Chain A
Amino acid sequence: MDAKPGMRVPARILASPAIFEAMDDGVFNQVTNVATLPGIQQHALCMPDGHWGYGFPIGGVAAFDLECGVISPGGIGFDINCGMRLLRTNLTFDELQPKLAKLMDNLYSLVPCGVGSKGSIRLTDSEFREMTTMGVKWCVKRGLGRPEDPDHIEESGCIPEADPDQCSAKAIHRGLDQLGTLGSGNHYLEVQVIKPENIFDHAVAQSLGLVIPNQICVMVHCGSRGFGHQIGTDYLRSFAPVMARHGIVTTDRELACAPFATPEGRSYFQAMNCAANAAFANRQVITHRIREGFAKTFGKSDLEIGLEVIYDVAHNIAKIERYPVGGVDKDLLVHRKGATRSFGPGQKQLPADYRDIGQPVIVGGSMETGSYLLVGTQEAMDVTFGSTLHGSGRTMSRTKAKHMIRGETLRQNLLDRGIAIRTASLAGLAEEAGFAYKDISEVVATVHDLGISRRVISFLPIGNIKG
């Protein structure tokens, strides 16, 4: 393809021929727009699960120079630190299945979801501010987690340089009573089983404590809720005059940005880090409720059930990371929007017990087709700024999906296949039907074959809560 006027670096889309052919035109337009942003380094990237987003495509990755580059809310998304958490249990499918319906009822009552849902914890303004600087450590201090939980979370669930004074009063007010809520859209809480035939790398699976045939896991997909959404809204609006002052012109208002080395750019970074910490804390409170739900269902403590965090990783975020550029190691601001960090073995940022295997990469699929666990690689460090895919990627609009199937029909179809659904919205359920997404196995095979992450396990859903 010809370069677009103003492109400072090439744009690269990572995809198999079939996935590439099926990608919508918006991906090509948006990834080339990203390549025009000031200070971008090496290339603008899109992962194979990419599709049309706002500003950046979903699946977009771009790294910027800290001195002459920008930070863009459109490269992170409104749902700051939308991400994935994976928990293991020591239960098997045969042990869980007779109590599946009861478990799903208990989890559905403990984890609020859907439009306008509120959590069970109401924070004061000062408590909320403290939470945004401490992340998961705040939850542990409040008895909403175990001391070892942060060990298996990206950045230990607490990103430094988070300043709540850079967040508007509206953002804080919007988040005050949403801690421990799922939201809606494609967010979910899913109970899953690992079939022995779906383990692709037994050694890595063993290192992650996944050693029991037909072992049960729980996956959570959600983010920073209204707090993060409001920060995105606030800064997207406020960056227009900043861009004018610095002579930055973009082809898309959603690519609004500020030079990182300005008070405005730094202010957004510090507010974004608050939202990232709030998202880690949100998934932690949900973890606490999951433990309560399992304990209530099985009449055993969550410790006896072995409910432990395997990993938690963001897929909407910007972080300062170090990569070689032109033969020189350099700190860069890496934007990932619908893309997951995929650090390879040996990286000091990884938990000590994962340093030999690489960082777990949790890839959420549809409630029909299942999800994947991969690990990061050195190739990702060399080629994609330590990044890989985040999901399977939509191929069909929400409107079309719900015209093709009714929510009640889909719920019954899934129940007939042994998948128990609890949802706050049947219309929303229909919008998330499996046929609205790419084939996750093909998307995962693409990143595996490219070497930017390595396939370990696939999970089959048996229970799903959707907002």
Chain B
Amino acid sequence: MDRRPMSFSYKYLPDVAIADAAFAVEADSWDELFAGATEAMTVVMVSLADLREDIVRELEVASESVDQLLYDWLSEIVYLKDTEGLLVKSADISVTAANGWRACGTLRGDRVDRDRQRLGQDVKAVTYHLYEVSHDGHRCHAKIVLDI
């Protein structure tokens, strides 16, 4: 898959989950929203600048709704972190809605290496706490709390 320029923004929400990590992300499209949420979650775990893009991996996730799809997508990224040691630096994602919702993407990232990476907190799980995924007619939005 060719790499496309991504346009998304996210900010961390310090007062939403005092023991954990929360962020809000927005983008022009679902593709970009998913990429932005993936990056925001990675930044909780590691400094993005310290990650290489040596590892390239395909990922496909299907779910019954777009909000469940984002939950499942991020949960899969957490799973890959624990089982393959993969920290995702960038993700080129295509989100489609035909016979259910589907996200297909190319993940580029690095293995965990605490000798050359500034690590943050390990993400245990994506939660449904205050979980929101929406489209306001112009932009896509999500609010996500991660269990730390």
Interface membership of A184, Cβ < 8 A: yes
A372 to chain B, nearest CB (A): 20
Q: Which residues on B sit within 8 Å (CB–CB) of A53?
A: 19, 129
Of A120-128, A396-404, A413-421, the one with at least 4 CB within 8 A of chain B: A396-404
Nearest CB in chain B to that of A253: its residue = B128
Q: Report yes or no: A427 in contact with B18, Cβ–Cβ below 8 A.
A: no
On chain A, the residues within 8 Å of B127 by CB distance are 54, 78, 254
B143 within 8 A of A: no
* 8 Å CB contact of A229 from B18, B112, B125: B125
Q: Does B85 contact A (CB under 8 A)?
A: yes
Given A58-B19, A115-B121, A185-B122, A398–B148 Cβ distance below 8 Å?
yes
Cβ of A355 within 8 Å of any chain B Cβ, yes or no, is no
B135 surroundings in chain A (CB, below 8 A): none
Within 8 A of A (CB), among B108-131: 112, 114, 118-122, 124-129, 131
**Is there an interface contact between A116 and B121, defined as CB atoms closer than 8 Å?**
no
Asked if A233 meets B75 with Cβ closer than 8 Å, knowing A54-B127, A397-B17, the reply is yes
Residue of A24, A229, A233, A428 near B121 (CB, 8 A) is A428
Contact of A114 among B119, B128, B129 (CB under 8 A): B119
B48 to chain A minimum Cβ distance, whole angstroms, is: 13
B93 proximal to A (CB < 8 A): no
| Contact residues of A between 155 and 196, Cβ < 8 Å to B | 170, 173-174, 178, 183-186
Given A116-B81, A233-B75, A233-B125: A185 touches B15 (CB 8 Å cut-off): no
Does A226 sit at the interface, judged by CB under 8 A?
yes
C-alpha gap A55/B16 in the complex (Å): 14
Which residues of A, 379-393, contact B by the 8 Å Cβ criterion? none
Q: Is A426 at the interface (CB under 8 A from chain B)?
A: yes
Report A-chain residues with C-beta under 8 Å of the C-beta of B145.
Answer: 54
A173: which B residues are within 8 A, CB to CB? 83
B18 touches A52 (CB 8 A): yes
Interface residues on chain B, size class: 35 or more
Cβ contacts under 8 Å, B20 to chain A? 398
Q: Which residues of B contact A229 (CB under 8 A)?
A: 78, 124-125, 147
Report whether A116 and B122 are in contact in the complex, using a CB–CB cutoff of 8 Å: yes
- With a cutoff of 8 Å between Cβ atoms, the chain A residues found around residue B120 in the complex are 115, 425, 427-428
The answer for the CA separation of A186 and B122 in the assembled complex, in Å, is 10
What A residues does B85 contact at CB under 8 A?
116, 118
Flag whether B79 is at the interface (Cβ < 8 A): yes
Evaluate contact between B125 and A425: CB separation under 8 angstroms. Answer: no
In the assembly, what is the distance between CA of A330 and CA of B27, in Å? 54
B81→A115 contact, CB < 8 A: yes
B18 A394 Cβ-Cβ under 8 A: yes
Q: Are B124 and A398 in contact (CB under 8 A)?
A: no
Q: Are A236 and B128 closer than 8 Å at their CB atoms?
A: yes
With beta carbons under 8 angstroms apart, the residue of A79, A117, A252, A395 that contacts B124 is: A79
A sample of 17 cross-chain residue pairs with beta-carbon separation below 8 angstroms, ordered by A number, consists of: A53-B19, A54-B145, A78-B127, A114-B122, A115-B81, A115-B114, A116-B85, A116-B122, A184-B148, A230-B79, A253-B129, A398-B19, A399-B14, A426-B118, A427-B119, A428-B120, A467-B122
Q: Which 5 A-B pairs have the closest CB atoms?
A: A116-B112, A399-B14, A253-B128, A184-B122, A54-B129
Q: Which residues of chain B have a CB within 8 Å of any CB of chain A?
A: 12-21, 45-46, 68, 71-72, 75, 78-79, 81-83, 85, 87, 112, 114, 118-122, 124-129, 131, 145, 147-148
Q: Which residues of A contact B (CB under 8 A)?
A: 24, 51-55, 58, 77-79, 114-118, 170, 173-174, 178, 183-186, 225-226, 229-230, 232-233, 236-237, 252-254, 256, 394-400, 424-428, 431, 467
